[in-house]
Structure 1
Amino acid sequence: MKKLSVLITFLFVGALAIYSQEGAKMLIHQSSTVVEYLLSEIDSITFKIPETQAAVHPSLFLKKGEEAAMLERIERSPLLSKVHKSLISECAPILRTAVSKYQISANRLLDVSEEVFRRVFLLSYAYRVTGTVSYAVRAEKELLAAARFQDWHPSHWLDTAILLAAMGIGYDWLYDYLSEESRIEIREAIVEKGLNTVWEQGFNQTNNWNSVCNGGMVVAALAVRDVYPELTKKLVEKAVASNPKVLTMYAPDGGYPEGYGYWGYGTTYQCLMSAALIDVYGTDYGLSDYPGFMESARFRQFTTAPTGKCWNYSDCAEAAYISPCVFWMAYRKNDPSLLAVEARYLESTIPYSAGEIFKPFITIYGSRLDLTSVPENSNHFWYSGGVTPIYVYRSGWKETTDTYLGIKGGYAASNHSHMDGGSFCYEYGGVRWSKDLGLQSYGTLESVVTLWDMTDASTRWNVFRLGNSSHSTLTINNKHHKVNGVVFLKDTYMTDKKQGALADMSGLYSEDVDLILRDITLEGNILTIKDSVEAKPTVDCDIQWIMNTEATSEKESDNSLVLSYLTKKMRMVVDAPCDFSLLQLTNVGPNSYDIANSGCRVGVQTKFPAGFKGTITVKLIPIE
Structure 2
Amino acid sequence: NYPGFKESAVFKVLMNTPSGGYYNFADCGDKRGVQGDITLAWFASKTGNASFFEKERFLMPPEEMGKLDRLAGAALVWIAQYEEKSEEKIPAAWKGEGANPIFIFTDSEGDNHGYYFGGKGGRGTVNHGNMDGGSFIFELNGVRWVVDPGNQDYHTLEKTGFNLWSNCQDCERWTLLTKNNFGHSTLTIDNKLHVVDGLATIIDFKDGTQPEATIDLTAAFQGQLDKAHRKFTKDSPTSLLIEDDIETTDSTQLVTWQLITTSDVEIVPNGAILKQEGKSLRVENLSHPDLTLSVVSLYPAPLQLDRQIKGLKRVELRIPAWTIDNGKTNIKIRLSE
Q: When the two structures are superposed, what TM-score results if normalisation uses the length of structure 2?
A: 0.89
Whether 1:406 and 2:112 are equivalent positions in the alignment is no
SS of residue in 1 equivalent to 2:307: coil
Question: Do the aligned partners of residues 486 and 502 (structure 1) sit closer, same or farther apart at CA in structure 2, a change above 3 Å counting?
Answer: same
Question: Do the aligned partners of residues 295 and 320 (structure 1) sit closer, same or farther apart at CA in structure 2, a change above 3 Å counting?
Answer: same
Whether 1:612 and 2:316 are equivalent positions in the alignment is no
Give the number of the structure whose residues are more often helix, by fraction: 1
Q: Which moved further from structure 2: 509-518 or 379-388?
A: 379-388
Question: Do the aligned partners of residues 583 and 418 (structure 1) sit closer, same or farther apart at CA in structure 2, a change above 3 Å counting?
Answer: same
Q: For residue 294 of structure 2, what is the aligned residue in structure 1? A: 583
Question: Do the aligned partners of residues 299 and 574 (structure 1) sit closer, same or farther apart at CA in structure 2, a change above 3 Å counting?
Answer: same
Q: CA deviation at 1:378?
A: 4.6
**Which protein has greater RCO, CA pairs closer than 8 Å, 6+ apart?**
2
Separation in 2 of the partners of 1:318 and 1:399?
25
* Alignment length (residue pairs): 327
Separation in 1 of the partners of 2:327 and 2:108?
41
One-letter amino acid of the counterpart of residue 601, structure 1: R
Separation in 2 of the partners of 1:315 and 1:592?
19
Q: CA deviation at 1:323?
A: 3.0
Give the number of the structure whose residues are more often strand, by fraction: 2
Contact 1:551 1:565 in 2 (8 A): yes
Out of 132, 144, 151, the residue aligned to residue 439 of structure 1 is: 151
Pairing of 1:67-82 with structure 2 (within 5 A) = none
Q: For residue 540 of structure 1, what is the aligned residue in structure 2? A: 252
Question: Do the aligned partners of residues 422 and 330 (structure 1) sit closer, same or farther apart at CA in structure 2, a change above 3 Å counting?
Answer: same
Q: For residue 180 of structure 2, what is the aligned residue in structure 1? A: 467
Q: Which moved further from structure 2: 405-414 or 606-615?
A: 606-615
Q: CA deviation at 1:320?
A: 2.0
Question: Do the aligned partners of residues 366 and 595 (structure 1) sit closer, same or farther apart at CA in structure 2, a change above 3 Å counting?
Answer: same
Pairing of 1:321-340 with structure 2 (within 5 A) = 321=33, 322-339=36-53
Q: CA deviation at 1:545?
A: 1.2
One-letter amino acid of the counterpart of residue 144, structure 2: R
One-letter amino acid of the counterpart of residue 282, structure 2: R
- Of the two, which has the highest radius of gyration? 1
**Cα shift readout 1:169-192 (whole Å, capped 9, x = no counterpart):** xxxxxxxxxxxxxxxxxxxxxxxx
Out of 257, 268, 281, the residue aligned to residue 570 of structure 1 is: 281
Question: Do the aligned partners of residues 579 and 540 (structure 1) sit closer, same or farther apart at CA in structure 2, a change above 3 Å counting?
Answer: farther
Question: Do the aligned partners of residues 577 and 563 (structure 1) sit closer, same or farther apart at CA in structure 2, a change above 3 Å counting?
Answer: closer
Structure 1 residue runs of 5 or longer lacking an equivalent are 1-288
One-letter amino acid of the counterpart of residue 79, structure 2: G
Structure 2 residue runs of 5 or longer lacking an equivalent are none
SS of residue in 2 equivalent to 1:580: coil
**Cα shift readout 1:98-126 (whole Å, capped 9, x = no counterpart):** xxxxxxxxxxxxxxxxxxxxxxxxxxxxx
The percent identity for this pair of structures is: 27
Contact 1:516 1:531 in 2 (8 A): yes
SS of residue in 2 equivalent to 1:490: strand
One-letter amino acid of the counterpart of residue 38, structure 2: P
Q: CA deviation at 1:465?
A: 1.2
One-letter amino acid of the counterpart of residue 329, structure 1: F
Q: CA deviation at 1:359?
A: 1.7
Separation in 2 of the partners of 1:344 and 1:605?
47
Pairing of 1:488-527 with structure 2 (within 5 A) = 488-496=201-209, 498-524=210-236, 525-527=238-240
Separation in 1 of the partners of 2:59 and 2:275?
31
Pairing of 1:145-184 with structure 2 (within 5 A) = none
Task: Compute the RMSD of aligned alpha carbons.
Answer: 2.5
**Cα shift readout 1:517-548 (whole Å, capped 9, x = no counterpart):** 11111111231111111001x21231221111
Q: For residue 162 of structure 2, what is the aligned residue in structure 1? A: 449
Out of 556, 571, 575, the residue aligned to residue 268 of structure 2 is: 556
Separation in 2 of the partners of 1:571 and 1:551?
12
